Structures are given as structure tokens and as C-alpha cells.
Structure 1
Amino acid sequence: MNPPILEGDPSDPRRKALNPGLKFLLELGPGLVFFFTTIRGAWLVGKFPILSHIGEPILIATAFFMVATALSLSVSWILTRSWPIMPLVSAIVVFVFGALALWLQDKTFAFMKPTIINSLFGITLLGGLAFGRSLLGYVFDSAFNLDAEGWRKLTFRWGLFFLFLAALNEVVWRNFSEEAWLYFKVWGTIPITLVFTLSQMPLILRHSLEDKTGKEEKAGK
């Protein structure tokens, strides 16, 4: 059976899962490209003067970010023959807002991109719950096997967390320097997300089907 073009349900046997380390690298890579290109933008222009036609360093970084995002999605497609839904949504926002930033020479679009992406994820997760569906499995790629109540609670919390990140991005880019926002975007959101993820482990352990199955098997012996 061929895998679906769009990433299927986490329980779909046709779905090909990426190696977790590679998946993490593909998701983090474009952001690192954006960070280092912005930091070294002046140096890059000195080495490759043609880049000056793109604009200031953050716009050059936006162009590189778009290319890196396209490459990341392409690698994912080559390995799984399907498009991962949430990275695909992120990529669409990246391409639309990146193109607007480059065309209008307005870096505001680059600042707002994380707000739009996180808002979309938050609204999608909470909206899915409103229709009785937990879509968080697409984010975690079947990393957890939870009961229905566990998925509902975890999805609700992650939905709120994405909205929190969206609001936080707005606060940072509107009230702090461009450099402060850049460091926050790469080196701030990752630790915040990691801490939040770890804080959800008690919930995950309480509702883990694997844990319950193991306890039932021990009780039956």
C-alpha cells in the first residue's frame, strides 16, 4: 500500500515515520538557518554582494529561511512520500509572509510569522476538540499512546500553549529590539517549549495505554 499524499492518521499502517532525530533536525534546521543568516548578514553581503539586492540582513535571512523550509519539506517527502501536515501549514505561512516581506521590503511580516503559525496551530487544536477530534497525534507523530481523555486534556493544553506563544511573540517583537526578538525566537521558544513538554509528563503517564496494559498484564499473572 502506498502512503497517502498528506500525512495520515498516526494509527494508519501505511504511514511512514521519520527517525525522531532526523525529524527534529528537519523542523529545527530552517530556524537555525534564519538565526545565523541574520546574525552574519553583513558578512554574507561582504562575501556575496549580490545578496544586498534582497535587502537588509533579516530579509536575506527570510529568503534563506524559505529555501531551507522548502529543502526540509522535500527531504521529508523523499523519505516518507507524504507531506507532514503541520510543517506543511508552517511552510505555507513562511512562503506567503516571506514573499510579502521580500516584495514589500517590510520585515514586519517576518516578525508576525510565528504569531500566525502558533495561532493557527492553537485554533486548529482547540477547534478540533470542539468537533470531538484530537489532532495532537499529528504533532507528536505517535510518540505517545494515550486514552481518549488523555488526548483531550493534552490537546487542550497544547492548544492554549500555542496561543500563549503567539501572544508572547507579539509582546517581544513589538516592545523589544530586533536582536532581542531574534534571540527569543530561536533560543527562547525552544527552552519554553521543552519545559512545557516536560510539565505534561505526569498527565501523559497517567493516561498512557501502554502503562495501563503493562499493569493489567502484571495483575493477571
Structure 2
Amino acid sequence: MTESRKNNSWLKPALEFGPLVLFFVVFMRFRDRTFTLGGTEYTGFIVATLVFIPVLVLSTLALWRLTGRLSPMQIATLVLVVVFGGLSVWLNDPKFFKMKPTIIYLIFAGLLGLSLILRRNWLELVMSEALPMTAEGWRVLSGRMTVLFLGLAGANEIVWRTMSETAWVNFKTFGLTIIMVVFFVLNAKLFERHALPKDAD
């Protein structure tokens, strides 16, 4: 393995998860403090959001430079973070940033649901390199992920509306990631059953 490949093996996940980890660290460090800028008081949550937005922009640009492309989810996440995170900072209201995951998950649930209705494997276009499967496998996975995204959207709404900011930050940083990992682990049999035969090469 070349040196560049070794670097890419850790650099890509660092760029993908680094901004979220930084948001968590900044929030936990300043969650009990307020900052006055221009005569307006800002909570630690707003400060963490203010740090998160430019870092995510820079890391996404670095990912694009590193890999040569961005997935639809990365692009949608970047746009919604800039829009809703920007609104939270501009209006000094955390709820806009907290609503962002709900909107992302509803968008993807809608797209996957539409792909099933139109009998198109849009999910395959995004994930085929990582998970080579038959058309039937992609159809089943699309249906399951539609339900998953709807569930995550509902869970995010419940958490941010009924629990503390710390609970929501923990849910966003760790809970959502763990749920996604568990989902793919539970679907291991599906991937195995519908896997395409590997090339001789």
C-alpha cells in the first residue's frame, strides 16, 4: 500500500466525522456559558453551531478534493447545515439547527419512497460501489431505509422538543450514528443473500 493510500484511509473518516466531533466538544465545553457579541447574548449551543458551519464547509471541500466527488447526502447535509445553522446563528435560535436532521431524513425518505414507486434503484447509484447487489436487493434495502429515515426524523423531533440540549447533542453525535451502524449490521443477511458474484480479478 502506498503512503497516499495509507493517509487516505484515516483522512477520509476524519474529514467526515471531525466536524461533528468538534461540535460536540465545543458544546460540552461551553454549554453552561453565555457570550456577548454586539450586545447580544449567545449560548454555548449557538457558539458550537457557529464553529461547526465553516469547519463542515472546509472538510466537505477537502473531501471533494480528496475523492473527486461528493455523495448526494453530503451535498444535502452541507446545504441544510449552512441554511439552518446560519438561521440559528443569525436569529440566535437553536431550534432551526435542531430541525435540520429531521428535514434531511424526510428528504431522503421521500426520495427513496419515490424511487420505489417509479421502480428506480436510486440508492444503487449512491452505494453500488460499497454494496454490489442485485436489483431486488436494492429494492428491499430502499424500502427498509425509507422506514429507517422516517423513524429517525420522528425520533429527532421527539428528542429536541422534549429533552435538554445536552440530550439532543448526545443523540445527534452518538445516537444517530449507532442506529445507522446497527441498521446495516442487522441487514448483513440481505447483503449476503443478494450480493453479486465477484469478478475473477
Q: Does 1:32 align with 2:21?
A: yes
1:84 corresponds, among 51, 67, 71, to 71
- Offset of residue 139 of structure 1: 4.6
Structure 2 vs 1, CA of residues 209 and 42 (structure 1 numbering), >3 Å: closer, same or farther? Answer: closer
Q: Which whole-Å CA distance do the structure 1 matches of 2:183 and 2:176 have between them?
A: 10
Quick check: 1:121–1:159 contact (8 Å CA) kept in 2? yes
Q: Does 1:113 align with 2:82?
A: no
Render the CA deviation track for 1:194-213: whole Å, top value 9, x for unaligned: 111100010110000127x7
Structure 1 length-normalised TM: 0.78
Q: How many residues are paired up?
A: 194
5+ long unaligned stretches in structure 2:
1-7
Q: Does 1:41 align with 2:30?
A: yes
Aligned to 1:209, what secondary structure does the other structure show? coil
Q: Corresponding residue for 1:192?
A: 179
Aligned to 1:144, what secondary structure does the other structure show? coil
Render the CA deviation track for 1:133-177: whole Å, top value 9, x for unaligned: 222235536111101000111111112111111110011111111
5+ long unaligned stretches in structure 1:
1-18, 215-221
Structure 2 length-normalised TM: 0.85
Q: Corresponding residue for 2:83?
A: 96
Quick check: 1:150–1:207 contact (8 Å CA) kept in 2? yes
Which amino acid counterpart does residue 58 of structure 2 have in structure 1? L
Q: Which whole-Å CA distance do the structure 2 matches of 1:189 and 1:38 have between them?
A: 17
Structure 2 vs 1, CA of residues 52 and 92 (structure 1 numbering), >3 Å: closer, same or farther? Answer: farther
Q: After the TM superposition, which residues 98-177 of structure 1 pair with which residues of structure 2 at under 5 Å, given as runs?
A: 98-140=85-127, 142-177=129-164
Stretch of structure 1 that moved more, 82-91 or 137-146: 137-146
State the 4+ residue runs in structure 1 displaced beyond 6 angstroms. 43-46, 49-54
Which amino acid counterpart does residue 42 of structure 2 have in structure 1? G
- Offset of residue 90 of structure 1: 0.7
Quick check: 2:23–2:49 contact (8 Å CA) kept in 1? yes
Quick check: 1:45–1:52 contact (8 Å CA) kept in 2? no
Aligned to 1:55, what secondary structure does the other structure show? strand
Quick check: 2:31–2:44 contact (8 Å CA) kept in 1? yes
Paired-residue identity, %: 37
Stretch of structure 1 that moved more, 94-103 or 129-138: 129-138
Q: Corresponding residue for 2:56?
A: 69
- Offset of residue 20 of structure 1: 6.1
Q: Which whole-Å CA distance do the structure 1 matches of 2:162 and 2:197 have between them?
A: 46
Across the aligned residues of Structure 1 and Structure 2, the Cα RMSD in angstroms comes to 2.7
Q: Which whole-Å CA distance do the structure 1 matches of 2:128 and 2:39 have between them?
A: 40
Q: Which whole-Å CA distance do the structure 2 matches of 1:154 and 1:52 have between them?
A: 51
